[in-house]
Structure 1
Amino acid sequence: MRIVQLIDSLHPGGAEKMAVNYANELANHIEESHIIITNQSGALADQVHANVKCKIFKRNKFNLFLIIVNLLIYLKKHKITAIQAHSSSYKWAKIIRTIYPNIAFYWHDHNGNRLDWDEVENKKIIQASKYFTGTIACNKTLLTWAANNLLTDKTIYLPNFVSVNSEIKVTTLFGDNEKRIVCLANFRNPKNHSFLVQCFIDSEISKLGWSLHLVGNTYNDAYFNEVKNIMDAHDESSVFIYGLCSDIFNILNQAQVGILVSSYEGFPVSVLEYGLTGLCPIVSNVGFMPELVHHLKTGYVIENNNSKQLIEAFKSLPVSDQWKNLAENFNKQIITNYAASKIITIFLKQLNE
């Protein structure tokens, strides 16, 4: 088998990270693994393994036709048998399947807000789906939506998995070595940074040495400015913003708690990364997270935007070692259920059926 991961860019994000993870892991299981980026590269390019064939197109409104031609030539030259198109890359289905109908085209949906997504965009996906061989959903809600709406008979549920990629240690976190809470999320909706920072401040656990570390791409916009304004208003010195970082596992190995309190999610890879590195998770009950983290068994699960519950979770950290047991339980669960080799085996079996 020769499989291509198709993605718009390699800027850090959930869909982009999974495209890289699939490309890297498949390289150990099939004849050739490829990843094609149709718009622009990004920080995740450094995580693509040497045994993965990588092609990057820099699309603009003037060279779209040339990219289409070169993409089709690439697929034929490398005798590609299947394409796994992530998120907005579904748009290539009609062109590719019209020219090369024998190439299997699977669309991988990562959008945790699909049910409330733009109706026009969803209609475009439905129209394109008649060219899909099948659809891959990262949680059961997306699977149901696909089965009820898309014009393809094959719908596959595949949970995300986590892989450790080689990285150079660059980032050193501030604060007490044993009292760090980290959030891996780009500064944009629906990641709820303002809510997170306000609840951390209101919990007052910073007075006991705990600190909050925000890692993710920042944008000079109203969302980011709101977070900064909250910090400035409280003269907060225990919340640290690092921006975009490439040494994620190095960062996580310096923390004790991983948090993600988004207002909606699909299947966040960051929470898997928390588990793999032995962090105690604090998450909101959206998307796949309630199935991934079980309250007071493998972490803390709060209701969406419930400040009281989040503050209580924060306050519990300094007064008990319970979070250490939860972290250990979560680590075991992730290693057992979300190992890359296990998910890849299921994926290849589904493609061959």
Structure 2
Amino acid sequence: MRIVQLIDSLEAGGAERMAVNYANALSESIAFSGLVATRKEGELKKQIDKKVSYLFLDKKTRLDIKAVLKLRKYINNNQVQIIQAHSSSFFLAVLVKLTLPKVKIIWHDHYGNRINESRKKHYILFLCSFCFSACFAVNPELEKWILKKLRITKVFFIPNFTLGDSSVSNKTYLNGETNKRIICLANLKKPKNHITILKAFNNTKLNHFSWSLHLVGKIYHDDYFYQLKYFIDENNLKESIFFYDSIQDVSFALSQANISVLASRYEGFPVSLLEYGHAGLAVISTNVGFCTSLIKDGYNGLLFNPEDSEALKEHFLKLAFDEDLQKDLGTNLKTEVLKQYSSCEIMKELIIKYNYIINE
């Protein structure tokens, strides 16, 4: 079996992290596992396993013929059977398939808000779907949207999984007092809804009890980032809220926290929740996307509406002063993640799907 993961960049994000996870995990069980970044490299390049064949196309425009030919040559030389195109990279995969009709395309959708969008908004995707052999969706809602809106009948819900980052050196040391840290792992983009987290934390006054909040994720130095900075400055929280930008040693950073939070307005299947669970952290999660399937409120985490900062405030207070609840929620989620979302379990299912698609 010879499969390539196609992704537009290797900056730290959910789809990007999963492309690397797929390539790394498959390198242990198939004849050829490749990873191709089309437009941009990034921090995740350092996490690609040595057994994975890697190529960077340096694509400049949507119709970059040089990039198409470079990918076509790579597919040909390595006798690739399947291109697994993550998110928006599907267009380049289709251009290659037009000259190599035998290669099969699996489009892998990670975009949680697509379920609220029309086919008209994704007309190019609709046309390209005629060239897809199958689609993977990271939650059942996306699976239904694809079946309804695109020209493809073979659509499979495939859960995300995490491999950890044990090969990465530990460099990120969190500020603040031990056993009083809250962490949020999400790139600093508006849909991630950091402002609700800041408002809730500020209203708890937990900083007066030496608690601190740690925001880990890529900083774009845009209006959104400066709005967060302004809120922190206006409320005198500079000694309690800290930014870390993108980091490699995610597991090490999480090991220093006690409570984790995700407040996104929409999600597909957030890898961060799996990473929180793997770390055994108590989780407070938004109730969108696959989050409500993974998190059972009160058993392995606490759920809230992402627009309700008051509910998040109450969850922060509830966990901050109840160490037993922290431990119970964290233990229960870790057990669930290791049992249901390990790479070993997901790979077994994937190999069956890949064989089915190849032999169709």
| Both proteins in one fold, TM over 0.5 | yes
- Equivalent positions of 1:1-353 (< 5 A) are 1-61=1-61, 64-117=64-117, 120-165=120-165, 166-236=167-237, 237-320=239-322, 321-353=324-356
Query: CA–CA distance in 2 between the matches of 1:225 and 1:118?
Result: 32
**Secondary structure of 2:152 counterpart:** coil
Aligned-residue offset at 1:153: 1.7
Query: CA–CA distance in 2 between the matches of 1:187 and 1:244?
Result: 10
List, as ranges, runs of 4+ consecutive aligned residues in structure 1 with deviation greater than 3 Å: 117-121
Query: CA–CA distance in 2 between the matches of 1:282 and 1:196?
Result: 11
Number of residue pairs the alignment of both structures matches: 353
Structure 2: gaps spanning 5 or more residues: none
For residues 277-317 of structure 1, the C-alpha deviation after alignment (integer angstroms, 9 at most, x for no partner) is 11111111001101111111001101221112101001112
Query: CA–CA distance in 2 between the matches of 1:327 and 1:31?
Result: 37
**Secondary structure of 2:242 counterpart:** strand
* Aligned partners of 1:180 and 1:254 also within 8 Å: yes
Letter in 1 for 2:164: V
TM-score, structure 1 as length reference: 0.97
* Aligned partners of 1:93 and 1:132 also within 8 Å: no
Query: CA–CA distance in 1 between the matches of 2:270 and 2:139?
Result: 10
Aligned-residue offset at 1:97: 2.1
For residues 138-187 of structure 1, the C-alpha deviation after alignment (integer angstroms, 9 at most, x for no partner) is 00110000111111120011010011131111111011111111101111
For residues 180-205 of structure 1, the C-alpha deviation after alignment (integer angstroms, 9 at most, x for no partner) is 11101111120011111111010111
Q: Which moved more, 1:218-227 or 1:40-49?
A: 218-227
**Secondary structure of 2:176 counterpart:** coil
Aligned-residue offset at 1:116: 2.8
Letter in 2 for 1:133: S
* Aligned partners of 1:111 and 1:266 also within 8 Å: yes
**Secondary structure of 1:290 counterpart:** helix
Query: CA–CA distance in 1 between the matches of 2:273 and 2:228?
Result: 22
Letter in 2 for 1:149: K
**Secondary structure of 2:244 counterpart:** strand
Query: CA–CA distance in 2 between the matches of 1:185 and 1:246?
Result: 13
* Aligned partners of 1:93 and 1:128 also within 8 Å: no
Query: CA–CA distance in 2 between the matches of 1:21 and 1:62?
Result: 26
**Secondary structure of 1:99 counterpart:** coil
CA RMSD between the two structures? 1.4
Query: CA–CA distance in 1 between the matches of 2:192 and 2:95?
Result: 34
Structure 1: gaps spanning 5 or more residues: none
Aligned-residue offset at 1:118: 7.0
Query: CA–CA distance in 2 between the matches of 1:117 and 1:246?
Result: 33
TM-score, structure 2 as length reference: 0.95
Q: Which moved more, 1:87-96 or 1:140-149?
A: 87-96
* Aligned partners of 2:268 and 2:289 also within 8 Å: yes
